[in-house]
Amino acid sequence: MRRDLFNQKTWESAWENDPNTNVKIMQRLGQVGSYNTEGFRKWAKSYDEMSFSDEGRQRSNRILSWIEQQGVSFEGISVLDIGAASGVFSISMARKGAEVTTIEPSSDLATMLAEHAKKHSVQVNIIQKPFEDFVEDNNKQSFDLVFSSMCPAISNWNIVEKALGFAKKYCYISGMSSRKENHVMDELLPIIGVDSQGIGSSDMAYLLQLLFLKGYSYQSLIERHVKIVDIDIENVVTKLTEWFVEYGIPLEDKLLKKSEEYLRETYTGKIPLRMGGRFGKVLVQL
């Protein structure tokens, strides 16, 4: 067993086959590969609004400031932003003087990104395709910094290695490092008589272990962020299915119905939802 702890292939295989990586959780939720559905378009619009809100921009500035504290200057460097979404990081890096290329598979998010670039008077090279396709088409291109924030494409060591292969100086990767915290679900568990399996994204644990075993130099930070948002009870009821999957709870009609009944009996109007979790970020120096 101790020998396996230091075996790179053991960790690579475990990551590849783990059912609780971020991308596999998102696949169970139908959030990966379905970019043309109405549900995804609604999510993309909501995500864009959240990203470019005052709180969202403060978060992105905090993350970029952390990268700068590690000795990275964005002025004049080339950046590849993998899974750029609507571009809150891309726009900020471009405004700091970086030459930014973005990879974003969703046409809706790529369009939003172009609109934000125009609004903020910055030049961003937008490539609308999955990172896997970009890898196949551009295996000789490189960038000073490869940047990936909470991107489901970074789903195993093979993909990480390809991302590192595009980086000349630095590679930044962030992701969940725990189960998402959600006090409404924690409140519901004893009501419906179900024990959560405690499922949470396991990617950060594999990433850090493999970077260590393979001898990379890196800085890392794990932070816990929690916020309270008022959500309309109808939206909470709509999200129950998604939250059940995240918590590893069977999607049984009786459990969903009991949960909805409890919420409607307990709350009126909006529910003050406390949510968050632990987030990890890693900057690899090459």
Which residues fall within 8 angstroms of residue 225, CB to CB, at 6 or more apart? 276, 277, 279
pTM of the model: 0.87
The residue to which tokens 């475990």 are assigned: 14
Structure tokens at 281: 């970020």
What string of pLDDT tens digits covers the 286 residues of the chain? 466 788 999 999 989 888 878 777 767 666 566 677 776 787 788 788 888 988 889 989 999 999 999 999 999 999 999 999 999 999 999 999 999 999 999 999 999 999 999 999 999 999 999 998 887 666 668 999 999 998 888 989 999 999 999 999 999 999 888 777 889 998 999 999 987 665 566 789 899 999 999 999 999 999 888 888 888 999 899 889 878 877 778 888 999 999 999 999 999 888 988 888 888 999 999 9
The Cβ of residue 277 has, within 10 Å, a number of other Cβ atoms equal to 17
150-163 pLDDT, tens digit each: 888 898 999 999 99
Which residues are 273's β-sheet partners? 229
The Cβ of residue 248 has, within 10 Å, a number of other Cβ atoms equal to 18
Contact (Cβ atoms closer than 8 angstroms) between residue 145 and residue 78 = yes
pLDDT on residue 78: 97
Q: How far is CA 12 from CA 9, 105, 126, 173, 199, in A?
A: 5, 26, 31, 17, 20
Closest CA to 281 of 221, 199, 234: 221
Strand extents, DSSP E, the chain: 78-82, 99-103, 124-127, 143-149, 167-176, 181-182, 217-232, 270-285
Which residues fall within 8 angstroms of residue 139, CB to CB, at 6 or more apart? 165
DSSP letter at 180? P
Structure tokens at 38: 């109405």
pLDDT on residue 197: 60
Cα–Cα distance for residue pair 73/68, rounded to 1 Å: 6
The Cβ of residue 261 has, within 10 Å, a number of other Cβ atoms equal to 11
The Cβ of residue 198 has, within 10 Å, a number of other Cβ atoms equal to 10
116-159 pLDDT, tens digit each: 999 999 999 999 999 988 876 666 689 999 999 988 889 899 99
The CATH class for the domain spanning 2-180+198-228+277-285 reads alpha beta
Closest CA to 154 of 100, 103, 218: 103
The residue to which tokens 């998010």 are assigned: 109
Cα–Cα distance for residue pair 10/8, rounded to 1 Å: 5
pLDDT on residue 116: 96
